[in-house]
Structure 1
Amino acid sequence: MRILLTGSSGWLGRFLAPALRAAGHTVTGLDLAPGPETHVLGSVADRSVVDRAMGLGIDAVIHTAALHKPDIARYPVQAFVDVNVTGTLNLLEAAKAAGHDRFVMTSTTSLMISEAIRQEKAAEAVWLNEQTGPLAPRNIYGVTKLAAEGLCRLYAAEHGLASVVLRTSRFFPEDDDTHKQPSGENLKAIELLHRRLTVEDAAAAHITALEKAPQLGFGLYIASAPTPFARQDAAALKSDAAALIRERFPETEALFAARGWQLPPSLGRVYDAGLAERELGWRAQTDFAAVLDALRTGAPLPFAHDPGYTSPLVAGR
């Protein structure tokens, strides 16, 4: 198929474009920032840009472009509405007009996190899946991504445009912008237990969604590394996560200590990607066990970590 990939210069886009080509697709990239995978420069918020890209001959859209949580410090609220909501509407309208039979959109698990969940004051870890609700996003990023999800659902129901929404957990390479301890690679390794996936697995999820969309009509799935925990572990995760990790992975403490890493005393939330495995047929290939394998053998860590990473959009400002 001929795929229009929005956000083609971003972190996900640079992995997704070659993965799509390897799967036999032709890729046209659209992004505000130039990059090796970008062919059309402009914003999805501009309908004329979207129409120009569609005019190049497109069979389906994978929509990864968005303003994200770190952009809150750089852009006004209206920009989030323009890009994340109006941009999604522009693409859905153009896809409908072109007679497409599938549409894939990148969303975020962040929109599931209310301020109460973020504060982690509950007695147990919060178990998060596609049935979690009512949703109360804590910032404009989450609010606009939730609205964009609603548009995809609406166009599937009213116009027959099969759509799959992927609520991806964390896969950014840079350091966390709010948590300083544990830092860097240590934090990313821990997050593979409950709230992270690799960018390669994120790309694979989008390709699977593209293939399965017409069969599903509409689908909304959490995309995250498989957690080794279950709902009944919620209390133990909150009270003494380190003990539970030692129980499930006895060598963890020694392997972490050899690298100067820490185990988490508490985990306040878990993303459950089981529905994506059952309905979409996708499962992340990299999990916490892969981290331990790398630490044990001295192999490179199975996730990207780049404290100096800057998005092309920010770098070009």
Structure 2
Amino acid sequence: MRVLLTGSSGWLGRHLAPLLEAKGHTVVGLDVAPGAATSVIGSVADRALVFRTVAEHGIEAIVHSGALHKPDIVRFPRQAFVDVNVTGTLNLLEAAVEAGHARFLFTSTTSLMVRDDVRAGAGEAGAWWMDEHFGPIAPRNVYGVTKRAGEDMCRLIARESGMVVAILRTGRFFPEDDDTHAIPSGPNLKANEFLNRRLTVGDAALAHLAALERAEGCETFVLSAPPPFTRADAVELAVDAPAVIARYFPDAAELYARAGWVLPERIERVYDPAKAERLLGWRARTDFAAILAALRDGAEMPFAHDPDWISPVLGDATA
């Protein structure tokens, strides 16, 4: 297929584009900044550009991974988020319908599931267990609000047109440091997050490929490394995570101590990607066991860490 990939110069796009091409797809990249996979420079907020690109390049499917993200909140006004994440998504959906596309992929985020009470800590039943049925959804910032609006637009257009739409709520996979947690930070924090809320960018790209090939109807998927825990662990995870971790990984504490790292004292939410495995046949290849294996063998960590990473932009994100 001829696939339009938005955000092709970004962190996910630069990993997804070669994967799509390896599967025999022709990728036309659209981004506000230049990149190896980007052939059209511009914004999804530019409706004329979107429709022209779809028509002139004979696009057959759209993978919409371009967006303004949470770290961009300090760099752009709220209107830019509406223009890119909402209006841009609508432009792409309507261009896909007009072209008669059979399927559309939308990269969303687990961030929109993190309400104020989730952010504040565990609930009455212990760690929040967050799958596609988790709700009510009440995003806490403009990023989450606009991504939720984009999701709703996807559902509306899918219902009206019959186009297959896969909404992929990805856990964390970007390489930069967390903007709210100072201790632990860097690779230690990322390693910890493979217990409950992170996946590698390579696994995120593979999930998109699986959705492009296998999605049916209009479905939402939570994407994360598979947690080693069960719902029965939720209460204890919220008060004594090391004890639970020790049951599943007896040498985790020793391996962490050797690296000078610390395990999380509490785990207060867990993302559950079981639906993606059941319906798409996708399961993240890198999990917490892989982190421990790298520590055990003295090998390189199986995830990227770049504290200086900034999503590429060129001038105004809505230009």
Q: What is the TM-score with the length of structure 1 in the denominator? A: 0.97
Measured after TM superposition, the shift of residue 314 of structure 1 is 7.2
Measured after TM superposition, the shift of residue 53 of structure 1 is 1.6
Counterpart-to-counterpart distance in 2, 1:130 and 1:139: 20
| Preserved contact between residue 122 and residue 128 of structure 2 (Cα < 8 Å) | no
Counterpart-to-counterpart distance in 1, 2:154 and 2:123: 33
Aligned to 1:220: 220
SS of residue in 2 equivalent to 1:28: strand
SS of residue in 2 equivalent to 1:44: coil
Measured after TM superposition, the shift of residue 137 of structure 1 is 0.5
Aligned partner letter, 2:95: A
Aligned partner letter, 1:45: A
Aligned to 2:101: 100
Counterpart-to-counterpart distance in 1, 2:13 and 2:186: 23
Alignment length, in residue pairs? 315
Counterpart-to-counterpart distance in 1, 2:312 and 2:111: 22
SS of residue in 2 equivalent to 1:142: helix
Aligned partner letter, 2:229: F
Aligned to 1:49: 49
Measured after TM superposition, the shift of residue 206 of structure 1 is 0.3
Aligned to 2:307: 307
Counterpart-to-counterpart distance in 1, 2:305 and 2:274: 26
| Preserved contact between residue 5 and residue 64 of structure 2 (Cα < 8 Å) | yes
SS of residue in 2 equivalent to 1:136: coil
Aligned to 1:155: 157
1:117-266, aligned counterparts within 5 Å? 117-120=118-121, 122-123=123-124, 124-213=126-215, 216-266=216-266
Counterpart-to-counterpart distance in 2, 1:315 and 1:296: 45
Aligned to 1:278: 278
Per-residue deviation, residues 136-193 of structure 1 (Å, max 9, x unmatched): 0011111110111111111111111110000000001011011011111010011001
Counterpart-to-counterpart distance in 1, 2:83 and 2:102: 25
SS of residue in 2 equivalent to 1:158: helix
Aligned to 2:65: 64
Measured after TM superposition, the shift of residue 52 of structure 1 is 2.5
Measured after TM superposition, the shift of residue 233 of structure 1 is 0.5
Measured after TM superposition, the shift of residue 315 of structure 1 is 9.5
Counterpart-to-counterpart distance in 2, 1:315 and 1:203: 27
Aligned partner letter, 1:249: F
* Stretch of structure 1 that moved more, 251-260 or 193-202: 251-260
SS of residue in 2 equivalent to 1:313: coil
Aligned to 1:78: 79
Counterpart-to-counterpart distance in 1, 2:180 and 2:43: 28
Seen in structure 2, the aligned counterparts of structure 1 residues 315 and 255 have a Cα distance that, compared at 3 Å, is farther
Counterpart-to-counterpart distance in 2, 1:315 and 1:299: 40
Counterpart-to-counterpart distance in 2, 1:156 and 1:315: 33
| Preserved contact between residue 112 and residue 148 of structure 2 (Cα < 8 Å) | yes
* Stretch of structure 1 that moved more, 18-27 or 117-126: 117-126
Structure 1 residue ranges without an equivalent (≥5) = none
Aligned partner letter, 1:156: A
SS of residue in 1 equivalent to 2:238: helix
| Preserved contact between residue 122 and residue 269 of structure 2 (Cα < 8 Å) | no
Q: In angstroms, what is the RMSD of aligned CA positions?
A: 1.3
Structure 2 residue ranges without an equivalent (≥5) = none
Counterpart-to-counterpart distance in 2, 1:24 and 1:252: 41
| Preserved contact between residue 33 and residue 316 of structure 1 (Cα < 8 Å) | no
Aligned partner letter, 2:11: W
* Residue 129 of structure 2 is aligned to residue 112 of structure 1: no
Counterpart-to-counterpart distance in 2, 1:28 and 1:271: 32
Aligned partner letter, 2:91: N
Aligned partner letter, 2:293: D
Counterpart-to-counterpart distance in 2, 1:10 and 1:116: 31
Counterpart-to-counterpart distance in 2, 1:18 and 1:316: 27
Counterpart-to-counterpart distance in 2, 1:204 and 1:260: 32
Counterpart-to-counterpart distance in 2, 1:56 and 1:97: 14
Measured after TM superposition, the shift of residue 121 of structure 1 is 5.0
